[in-house]
Amino acid sequence: MRRKLVAGNWKMNGSLEALAEVDGIAAAAKGANCDVALALPATLLLSAVERVGGSSVAIGAQDVHPAEKGAHTGCISAVMLKDAGASFTLVGHSERRADQGETDADVRAKAEAARRHGLAVILCVGETLAERDAGRAEAVVTGQLEGSLPEGAAAEWLSIAYEPVWAIGTGRTPTVADVAAMHGAIRAKLRELVGTEAEAMRLLYGGSVTGENAAELLDAGDVDGALVGGASLTAVKFVPIIEAPARLPVS
Alpha carbon separation from 163 to 129, 144, 220 (Å, rounded) = 12, 12, 15
| Beta carbons within 10 angstroms of residue 83's beta carbon | 13
Question: Counting beta carbons within 10 angstroms of the beta carbon of residue 50, is it exposed (0 to 12), middle (13 to 18) or buried (19 or more)?
Answer: exposed
Q: Is the dihedral of CA 27, 39, 93, 138 positive or negative?
A: negative
CA distance 181 to 174: 11
Strand-pair partners of 37: 7, 58
Within 13 Å of residue 94, how many CA atoms lie on the same side as its CB? 21
Asked whether 140 and 147 are in contact (CB, 8 A), the reply is: no
> What positions carry a catalytic annotation?
93, 163
Long-range contacts (CB closer than 8 Å, 24 or more residues apart) made by 148-152:
148/91, 148/92, 148/104, 148/107, 148/108, 148/111, 148/123, 149/108, 149/111, 149/123, 149/193, 149/194, 150/108, 150/111, 150/112, 150/115, 150/121, 150/123, 151/108, 151/112, 152/115
